[in-house]
Chains A and B, each alone.
Chain A
Amino acid sequence: MNDRERLLRDSLERARVPDEAAAEERAWRVVVAATAAGAARPPRRGRRRALQMALALGLIALVVSPAGASVRNWVAERIEPGAPHARPFLASLPGDGSLLVDSTQGPWVVHPDGSKRLLGHYAESSWSPHGLYAVVSDGHELAAVEPGGAVRWTLTRPGRVGLARWNGPDGFRIAYVEGHDLRVVAGDGSGDRRVATGVAPVAPAWRSGPAHELAYATRGGAVVAMDADTGRRIFETIARSALAAASRSPITSLQWVGSDLLVTRPERLQMLLGAGGRPLWTWTPPPGARIVAASAAADGGRVAVVVRAGRTSRVLLRSPAGASRVLFAGPGAFAAPRWSPDGRWLLIPWRSADQWLFLEPSSGTAKLHAVARVAQQFSPGDRAAVRFPSVTGWCCTR
Chain B
Amino acid sequence: MSGSAGDAATGPEPQGDAALVRAAQHGSEEAVELLFRRHWRHAHRAAYLIVRDAAAAEDIAQEAFLAATRALERFDRRRPFRPWLHRIVVNRAIDHARARTLRREVGEEALGEAAAPDPEDRLDPDLSAALGELDPEQRAAIVLRYLLDYTPGEIARMLELPRGTVNSRLRRGLDRLADSLEGVLR
Residue ranges of A at the interface with B (Cβ–Cβ < 8 Å): 3-5, 7-9, 11-20, 23-24, 26-28, 30-32, 34-35, 38-39, 141, 143, 153-156, 158, 189, 191-194, 197
Q: Is the CB of A192 within 8 A of B106?
A: no
Q: Is the CB of B66 within 8 A of A30?
A: yes
Known: A8-B146, A26-B58. A18 touches B121 (CB 8 A): yes
Contact residues in A for B81 (Cβ distance below 8 Å): none
Q: What is the distance, in angstroms, from B170's C-beta to the closest C-beta of chain A? A: 9
Given contacts A20-B45, A154-B107, A194-B62, 9 further A-B contacts (CB under 8 A): A5-B174, A15-B121, A17-B48, A17-B54, A17-B58, A23-B58, A24-B44, A30-B62, A197-B66
Q: Is the CB of A18 within 8 A of B120?
A: yes
The answer for the CA separation of A155 and B124 in the assembled complex, in Å, is: 29
Name 27 A/B residue pairs within 8 A (Cβ), A-sorted: A4-B174, A8-B174, A9-B146, A11-B181, A12-B123, A15-B48, A15-B49, A15-B121, A17-B57, A20-B41, A23-B44, A23-B54, A24-B44, A27-B40, A27-B61, A30-B66, A31-B32, A31-B36, A31-B62, A31-B69, A34-B66, A154-B107, A156-B106, A156-B107, A193-B58, A193-B59, A197-B66
The answer for the CA separation of A247 and B59 in the assembled complex, in Å, is: 34
Is B16's beta carbon under 8 Å from chain A? Answer: no
Q: What is the distance, in angstroms, from B129's C-beta to the closest C-beta of chain A? A: 13
Q: What is the distance, in angstroms, from A123's C-beta to the closest C-beta of chain B? A: 16
Is B29's beta carbon under 8 Å from chain A? Answer: yes
Contact residues in B for A192 (Cβ distance below 8 Å): 55
The answer for the CA separation of A32 and B24 in the assembled complex, in Å, is: 13
Most buried by B among A27, A34, A192: A27
Contact residues in B for A194 (Cβ distance below 8 Å): 58-59, 62
Is B99's beta carbon under 8 Å from chain A? Answer: yes
Q: B61, B103, B147: which contacts A156 (Cβ < 8 A)?
A: B103
Q: A17, A34, A141: which contacts B69 (Cβ < 8 A)?
A: A34
Known: A8-B177, A27-B61, A197-B66. A16 touches B120 (CB 8 A): yes
Q: Is the CB of A15 within 8 A of B122?
A: yes
Chain B, Cβ-Cβ closest to A190: B110
The answer for the CA separation of A139 and B93 in the assembled complex, in Å, is: 22
Is B77's beta carbon under 8 Å from chain A? Answer: no
The 3 closest A-B pairs by CB, nearest first: A154-B106, A12-B147, A17-B48
Residues facing A in B21-48 (CB within 8 A) are 27, 29, 32-33, 36-37, 40-41, 44-45, 48
Q: Is the CB of A28 within 8 A of B40?
A: yes
Q: Is the CB of B54 within 8 A of A19?
A: yes
Q: A3, A4, A24, A31: which contacts B41 (Cβ < 8 A)?
A: A24
The answer for the CA separation of A189 and B181 in the assembled complex, in Å, is: 36
Q: Is the CB of B62 within 8 A of A15?
A: no
Is B96's beta carbon under 8 Å from chain A? Answer: yes
Known: A15-B49, A154-B106. A28 touches B58 (CB 8 A): no
Q: Is the CB of B174 within 8 A of A38?
A: no
Is B118's beta carbon under 8 Å from chain A? Answer: yes
Q: Is the CB of A35 within 8 A of B69?
A: yes
Q: Is the CB of A11 within 8 A of B29?
A: no
Q: What is the distance, in angstroms, from B124's C-beta to the closest C-beta of chain A? A: 6
The answer for the CA separation of A19 and B58 in the assembled complex, in Å, is: 10
Interface string of B152-176 (1 = CB under 8 A from A): 0000000000000000000000100
Which size class do B's interface residues fall under?
35 or more
Is B142's beta carbon under 8 Å from chain A? Answer: yes
Residues facing A in B81-140 (CB within 8 A) are 96, 99, 103-107, 118, 120-124, 127
Q: What is the distance, in angstroms, from A23's C-beta to the closest C-beta of chain B? A: 5
Contact residues in B for A27 (Cβ distance below 8 Å): 36, 40, 44, 58, 61-62, 65
Chain A, Cβ-Cβ closest to B149: A9
Is B178's beta carbon under 8 Å from chain A? Answer: yes
Q: Is the CB of B55 within 8 A of A193?
A: yes
Q: Is the CB of A7 within 8 A of B181?
A: yes
The answer for the CA separation of A238 and B121 in the assembled complex, in Å, is: 41
Contact residues in A for B20 (Cβ distance below 8 Å): none
Q: B58, B70, B174: which contacts A34 (Cβ < 8 A)?
A: B70
Is B19's beta carbon under 8 Å from chain A? Answer: no
Most buried by A among B45, B62, B121, B181: B62
Chain A, Cβ-Cβ closest to B143: A12
The answer for the CA separation of A193 and B177 in the assembled complex, in Å, is: 31
Contact residues in B for A39 (Cβ distance below 8 Å): 27
Interface string of B53-78 (1 = CB under 8 A from A): 01101110110011001100000000
The answer for the CA separation of A153 and B110 in the assembled complex, in Å, is: 12
The answer for the CA separation of A338 and B184 in the assembled complex, in Å, is: 62
Q: What is the distance, in angstroms, from B89's C-beta to the closest C-beta of chain A? A: 12
